[in-house]
Amino acid sequence: MEGFMILAVIAIILVIILRNVYVVQQSRAYVIERLGAFQAVHGVGIHIKWPFIDRIARRVSLKEQVLDYPPQPVITKDNVTMQIDTVVYFQITDPKLYTYGVEQPMAAMETLTATTLRNIIGDLELDQTLTSRDIINTKMRAILDEATDPWGIKVNRVELKNILPPQDIQSSMEKQMKAERDRRQAILQAEGQKKSAILIAEGERESAILRADAEKQAAILKAEAERQAAILKAEGEAQAIRTVQQALADSVEMLNEKAPNDQVIKLKAIETMSKVADGQATKIIIPSEMQGLVGLATGLVEGVKK
């Protein structure tokens, strides 16, 4: 009987010891209290606590966590009420402060986020709120990080998930956006028509310049052809005159070589006068010394005709 009691006591002691041996996992921490007072923070590894004296006050996750809050009603500076929901990314850096710094830290974070958001949006108008998300995110992160530092919490990032203005404001904004799109479309069409007209005018100007150049070149070529023709004509006439003069010179030279008498010279003169008579002259003056010879020649010609 005594042996059974001893075995039972030993078993109870082993169970108590095993129940007070625990393993802390990665990225977690246990806050240990001894007789109600803070004792230590146990990190990763195997740990043993005193039975009935020590207790695990809180198991804390050291991973980055996300809080997605429901939409909060917020009033802007120009008295527009809108719904904004916020996402907060945070991480517990000090398990002791997180355990003893504030009661219900998650509820405190939600309340602090809502009040901070209202304070920031209250200083902005509707248009600024819609176009200043980055500024709002930065301000909220800085304020929340400073306020939660005594709680052992570090706020890494804050994002405005949705901004929902009232329905009438949304309708007005949609109409404004549609009007702006129509205006931009009209501007783009006008610019396109302007560029098209400019290109057409430039094309017509280039075409007119090319046409004028072509006409100018054609006139130059025509004038050059007429000049060349006139030169060739003048050269031909000059050559004909030179040929006639050369023939006369040759004839005179031959006559001089043959020593002609006065009668032959007078006959040559008559021939020359007849050539002159073929021209436009209406009157021909015959020298007195040639009149007798002309009469003789005329009588001979009339006798031959009879």
* Dihedral pair phi/psi, residue 65, rounded to 5°: -120, 160
CATH of the domain at 88: 3.30.479.30
The single-letter DSSP state of residue 258 is H
Domain match, 75 and 158 both: yes
Residue whose structure tokens are 């009935």: 52
Domain match, 244 and 294 both: no
Contact 98, 153 (CB under 8 A): yes
CA atoms within 13 A on the CB side of 61: 6
Strand order in the sheet with 54-61: 37-42, 28-34, 54-61
Domain match, 267 and 306 both: yes
Instruction: List C-alpha distances in Å: 85 to 88, 118, 155, 217, 275.
Output: 10, 12, 17, 79, 125
Domain match, 107 and 22 both: no
To the question of pTM greater than 0.75 for the whole model, the response is no
Confidence of residue 30 (pLDDT cuts 50, 70, 90): very high
- The verdict on residue 223 lying in a domain is yes
Cβ neighbours of residue 294 closer than 8 Å, sequence gap 6 or more: 270, 286
Domain match, 286 and 246 both: no
| Domains: count for the chain | 4
pLDDT at 143 over 90: yes
- The verdict on residue 33 lying in a domain is yes
Confidence of residue 50 (pLDDT cuts 50, 70, 90): confident
Above pLDDT 90, what percent of the chain?
Answer: 20
Q: What is the pLDDT of residues 170-223, one digit of tens each?
A: 777 777 777 888 888 889 888 888 888 898 888 888 888 888 888 888 888 888
Q: Which of 165, 196, 211 is the last residue of a domain?
A: 165
Above pLDDT 70, what percent of the chain?
Answer: 80
Q: What's the burial of 206, exposed, middle or buried (CB within 10 Å: 0-12/13-18/19+)?
A: exposed
| pLDDT at position 252 | 62
Domain that holds residue 283: 260-306
Residue whose structure tokens are 């991480």: 91
* Dihedral pair phi/psi, residue 78, rounded to 5°: -95, 25
CA angle 248/274/240 to nearest 5° reads 40
Domain match, 118 and 91 both: yes
Q: What is the pLDDT of residues 232-285, one digit of tens each?
A: 888 888 887 777 677 777 766 666 666 555 655 555 656 655 554 554 544 555
* Average pLDDT for the chain: 80
User: Rounded mean pLDDT of 103-114?
Assistant: 90
